[in-house]
Structure formats: structure tokens, C-alpha cells
Chains A and B, each alone.
Chain A
């Protein structure tokens, strides 16, 4: 690689600046060149509207601390704002976490009063959740049995697309992401009615959790996506 070849290529696009970074050089050199280049061209973006900046790091891993540093450098110029930092590389730890959130965990038991079942990924429970029992999953919850207790789907990072499906839907409380809904009806009446295979999802238009028959809920965009994995 010749010394004249730039480590950072700046490209101007309609929607802002794109910084393409060299993959092989030292990160230290990259930071130095970034500072130099931005300082050299400072008259280009001194005035006018805020320009969004996209960084393409290619096959270079950028740690969270490095991300912060890059943002700090760019934000030191008034009219620049970091939109996205793209990298083709993620750590094994992150991919393991991601994988755990995507798997379906099958469990066959009754969740009784006072018991808490909390898993990463989608929960496939064969058995009931009794009143006073709690199930929670970072993904969706599918219950082959009666849901009479508390269920929390999309619990980790406020996933609004998560759904809760149960053969018999008689929950005391439902939680999807950060939205909670509860049942106001009398407990004894609740236990006498039966509803078969219902699905709870978050209707973002009204910001409330809605319970519907599974096939009716299937028509909703977010649910068909969620059920694909089954």
C-alpha cells in the first residue's frame, strides 16, 4: 500500500457524507487521518443544514468505545451528525446472544403460583401457566395450554413485534415490550369461559395490547412475521 493512498475516502451523496475506511491500517492512523481530513475541509460544511455522516468500516471490528470516539470527533464539527457506523464484523459474544434470542425453547411443565420461568428466545410451553405464575421471554411466547397467570413477551429490549399465543387465553396480566395490559374481570367468571387459541399482540396505532383469534391476528403484518419461525 503506498503512502499516498488515502485511508479514508470521503464521498458526497444526496443524503449526506459517506466515509469509507481502510480495513487494513492501524486504527490510530485512521483517527489521525479522520481529524486531518475533516479539519482540512471544514469550509465545506461550515454553514447550511446538518449533514448526516455514514461510516463504512468494512471488515474492521469497531468496539463500543471506538464508536464513541469516532462520533465524538465528527460531532466536534457543528454541522456534522453521525447517522450510522457500519461494520461487517461482530464478536462471537454478540452472535451467541443474537442466536439465543432467535431460538425456540421448548419446555413441558406447569408453571404454578409463585414460579417464574424466564428464558431467552421464543418460549414454547407445553402446559399451563396458573394464576400467580409468570412466564417471560425475550421473544415470543407460545403456550399449548391455559394461560391464567402473567406473560411477558419481548421483555429484554422492548420488542414491540412480539406476540403471546395461548390455547386458552385467560391471563391476569400481559406485557409486550413495555406495554402492560390487565384483566379487569372477576376471577371466578373468567375461569368458566373458554376461548380457544388466541393471540395477543401490540397494536401500535392505539398503543394497547389486543387479544384476537389467531387467524384474525395473522392478517396483521407484524404477526405473520412473528409466526413464520414456527
Chain B
């Protein structure tokens, strides 16, 4: 029996879909059987980020309404044998499916996969309730902005009311190091102070994320990127390993040491 993890944030555009795609990818890299579930009915994106759009035949709503079997709707990833995706429907909206139906589907997936990663839509309405219905664990994604932290706080409050979900864990996404240094961005400690939940990982803002998602290749596949390294760490933490947080300060790089030698800071 596998585990179902919902990736949520409340606010849109903080990187839920990117996080889902990359967490799924790194878990698959570790040899786990993973299924990604897109619950953003009507505004599906996960298939595009994964580069699997053209393989979709059936979707989530087709399964819920009995037009096909669950297995028929699953899309196999082109890179990993052990990675699948259950796409959302694009032609209808969130009300096409009920939380109970969603839970039944996730339970069925859990018997076949080690991890079921559920990509939650923005908002706290029906789409959110669908996404959390079958989840055992939750990952809350936020960026170092006040509005995003506020929404994350709201979502954590709602997740705490879902009795079957373990305490949510936090990913702070799109950290920009130069803003952090100049003090114009919320610091990680401040965010942790307010949200007061466990930190699962921090991901730096990386231009590569945009280009790779446009190409339909999760950035986690490119080991030279810092964001990829962060996602790999997150994957290992989900598997239960203890991995220290990434050091954001680049002062130790050769170039910086050279500069500070010359007194240029």
C-alpha cells in the first residue's frame, strides 16, 4: 500500500505543478513506483510540464463517470517505466467530480503505486477539497512573499482540520538569493516562525525551471541545476533520509573567495 501526498498552496503561481512534477520525477529516479494525479480540472498543466500532453486519451472525469477503467486513463511517462500520470479533464470544471469519488480513485492508485502525488488547484473551494480527500500527507508550497505566506497559513489551517492527513510539511519555492541578502524578501526563519510547520525543503529560483517546463522535461532531470539538487534533496527527505538544508550563501565559491581576497566583497 502506497502513500498519497497532496501538493497544495492556496495561492496560484507559486509552483505547485512544478513541485509535483519534480517531486514525482525524483521519487521515480530513486526507483519508486509513482503516479502523478492532476486535479486541476479545467486548467490542467501537469501534462504539459511533464511533456505528456499528446498521450492523453482518457482523464480523471472519464474514470469517475465510468467511461473507462482507471488503468486505461493512466499515461506512462516516456522516460521512466515506473512513473505514470492521471491527467485532469480540460473540457469541464471542478464540480464534475466529488471528493468521495476522488478518494476512491486515490485509494485504488495507492494499491498499485508506492507514491501518489496529487497536484492541487489554487483556491480553497471544491477543487481543493477534491484534492485533499484521498491524501495521507500534505506538502504546502509557498514563496517568500507575504501574500503567498498568508495563503499558505490559511491552507495549513484547513489541512489541520482534515483528520486523516499527517501534519503538513513546507517547501519554500523560488527563493531569490540577491533579494534575500538585501533584506527585501522574507527570510526563511521568518516564514518558519509564522507557519510553524516542518520544513521539507527550499528551492532557489532558477531560470532553468521555466525553459525545462516549456520543453516538457522536469528540471530534476538536469543534475547541474541548483533547483534540481533541491528537488532531489526533497525526494530523499520524503523517503525518510536526513539531508541537511542547502547552503544558499555562495560566499564559498572560488569567485567569491577571489573577490574577497581583493577586498571587493
- Contact surface of A with B, Cβ cutoff 8 Å: 110, 112-115, 128, 130-133, 146, 148, 187-188, 191-192
- Contact surface of B with A, Cβ cutoff 8 Å: 146, 150-151, 153-154, 156-158, 160, 186, 190, 193-194, 196
- Whether B194 lies near A187 (C-beta < 8 A) is no
A114 and B196 in contact (CB under 8 A), knowing A187-B146, A191-B186, A191-B190? no
- Whether B194 lies near A132 (C-beta < 8 A) is no
Which chain B residues lie closer than 8 Å to A146 at the CB level? 193
- Whether B156 lies near A112 (C-beta < 8 A) is yes
A contacts with B: majority SS: loop
A-B contact count (CB 8 A): 37
CA distance A191 to B190 in the complex (A): 8
A130 and B194 in contact (CB under 8 A), knowing A113-B153, A113-B157, A114-B157? yes
Which chain A residues lie closer than 8 Å to B194 at the CB level? 128, 130-131, 148, 191
CA distance A188 to B146 in the complex (A): 8
Which chain A residues lie closer than 8 Å to B160 at the CB level? 112
- Whether B186 lies near A113 (C-beta < 8 A) is no
Q: Which residue of chain A has its CB nearest to the CB of B185? A: A188
- Whether A113 lies near B190 (C-beta < 8 A) is no
Q: What are 13 A-B interface contacts by the 8 Å CB criterion? A: A110-B196, A112-B153, A112-B154, A113-B150, A114-B154, A114-B158, A115-B157, A131-B153, A131-B194, A132-B154, A133-B153, A188-B146, A191-B194
Which chain A residues lie closer than 8 Å to B154 at the CB level? 112-114, 132
Identify which of A110, A115, A131 contacts B150 (C-beta below 8 A): A131
CA distance A131 to B194 in the complex (A): 9
Which chain B residues lie closer than 8 Å to A187 at the CB level? 146
Instruction: Identify which of A110, A133, A146, A187 gathers the most chain B CB atoms within 10 Å of its CB.
Output: A110
User: Sorted from nearest, which 7 A-B pairs have the closest CB atoms?
Assistant: A112-B157, A113-B154, A113-B153, A114-B154, A112-B153, A130-B153, A115-B157
CA distance A132 to B11 in the complex (A): 15
**CB of A127, distance to nearest CB on chain B (Å):** 8
A132 and B153 in contact (CB under 8 A), knowing A110-B196, A187-B146, A188-B146? yes
Q: Which residue of chain A has its CB nearest to the CB of B159? A: A112
CA distance A188 to B145 in the complex (A): 9
Which chain A residues lie closer than 8 Å to B153 at the CB level? 112-114, 130-133
CA distance A115 to B194 in the complex (A): 14
